[in-house]
Chain A
Amino acid sequence: MTVANPRIVTVRQNILKANDHTAAENRATFTAAGVRAINLASSPGAGKTALLERTLRDLAGQMSMAVAVGDLATENDAARLRQHGAQAEQIVTGTICHLDAAMVQAVLPRFDLAGLEVLFLENVGNLVCPSSYDLGEAARAVLISTTEGEDKPLKYPTMFNTADVVVITKMDLADAVGFDRDLCRENIDRARPGVPVIELSSRSGAGLDAWFAFVRGEPT
């Protein structure tokens, strides 16, 4: 018996290239249909669904919008969103902690993309995993609430560094929880120098105009 000879080959390939390939297909689909896809990421409880509910309600009649919402198991979020008259489809991710491009691609046939202007891709609540997965979105919004502390941008640098806009939610609670606005904005700017920041409250409605401008694709 002879000993097998190892041979070292240099590969230098992106581990997520299959996802990136599917994301490029999704992006082409969205572009062809004239849909602006917006990927929303945040920690659990940062207020993604509340912001989407408010957006669907306030912009109803002005824009045609729909939501694909990723969740580990339940269908609560999709049911909440449907109450506002927009189509909402759940992507049940099971044990998977993020949406990936293939999951989004699989749900797209359920939408009439040609009749849509904006498709929200509400990611699983998690600031780690979703950062690695391009879904084919036109823009990525990362939400952080005033109740979760100012250091999140430095603890999750990848998520914030891939954001096209950072939204600070629950501003109506800022004073009550002692939120340090300047420190939070400083940390966001360290993670992603120059990124636009929108401060808002889905409850009071303060700051929503800037968010709606982003949703429409206007400069922020």
Chain B
Amino acid sequence: MRALYCAGRGAADMHEASIALSLIDVASEVLREHGAARASALTVRVGQWSSVVPEALTAAFPACAAGTGLEGARLSVVTVPGVGECPVHGRVTLDVTRGLRCPECGAPTPTLLAGDELELDELELVEPDLEDV
């Protein structure tokens, strides 16, 4: 099992540190597939129902990325609101504090059509520059 401390972050950030490490694993794999040594920026999509706090993820990321191809990369987090389907109002944007209920009429919207994602969306690769090597 690997250490999850990411250079001394406190317990409150452990969840996002775990997520940051998984994110770095996925991103590092993409770097390898593309033959790139490092990335300068990355975008992740975090659903409001994903249990990940964007600010905590952004705070945990730099220390977790140290020594990897993601070191120094700019992390952008796009928050994805919950979307449900109301039998009357169709696709509706949900309010996380009110649960899975149509904001118009209060009908239950049991299925999340969006808002539970936790995904690496884009990666900005820095191509190896032969003249720099």
Contacts and interface: CB of A to CB of B under 8 A. Distances in A.
A98 to B, nearest CB: 7
Interface in A171-201: 187, 189-194
Given A2-B131, A157-B49, A194-B108, A94 B122 contact: no
A95 B131 contact: no
A187 to B, nearest CB: 7
Nearest to A106: B1
Contacts of A153: 99
A95 B19 CA distance: 14
Contacts of A154: 97-99
Contact of B127 (A7, A187, A190, A193): A7
A15 interface: yes
Interface residues of B, number: 50
Most buried by B among A3, A18, A157, A189: A157
A146 to B, nearest CB: 20
A13 B119 contact: yes
Interface string B36-76: 10001100100001111000000000000000000000000
A150 B27 CA distance: 40
Contacts of B126: 4, 6
Interface stretch (A44-52, A61-69, A124-132, A202-210): A124-132
Given A12-B121, A15-B26, A97-B15, A132 B52 contact: yes
A19 interface: yes
B122 A193 contact: no
Most buried by B among A4, A96, A190: A4
Contacts of A157: 49, 96, 99
B83 interface: no
Contact of A10 (B19, B101, B122, B129): B122
Contacts of A97: 11, 14-15, 18
A11 B121 contact: yes
A212 interface: no
A114 interface: no
Contacts of A192: 100, 110
B4 to A, nearest CB: 5
A98 B34 contact: no
A8 interface: yes
Nearest to A191: B99
30 contacts: A4-B128, A6-B124, A7-B34, A9-B34, A10-B122, A11-B26, A11-B27, A11-B122, A12-B120, A15-B22, A16-B19, A17-B26, A94-B1, A94-B4, A96-B18, A97-B11, A97-B18, A100-B18, A128-B15, A129-B51, A131-B51, A132-B15, A132-B19, A156-B51, A158-B51, A187-B99, A190-B99, A190-B101, A193-B108, A193-B109
A-B interface, 3 closest residue pairs, ranked by CB to CB distance from nearest? A190-B99, A193-B108, A158-B51
Given A9-B122, A13-B119, 20 more contacts: A5-B127, A7-B36, A8-B123, A15-B19, A15-B44, A15-B120, A16-B19, A18-B25, A19-B22, A95-B4, A128-B15, A131-B51, A132-B15, A132-B118, A153-B99, A154-B98, A154-B99, A161-B49, A190-B100, A191-B100
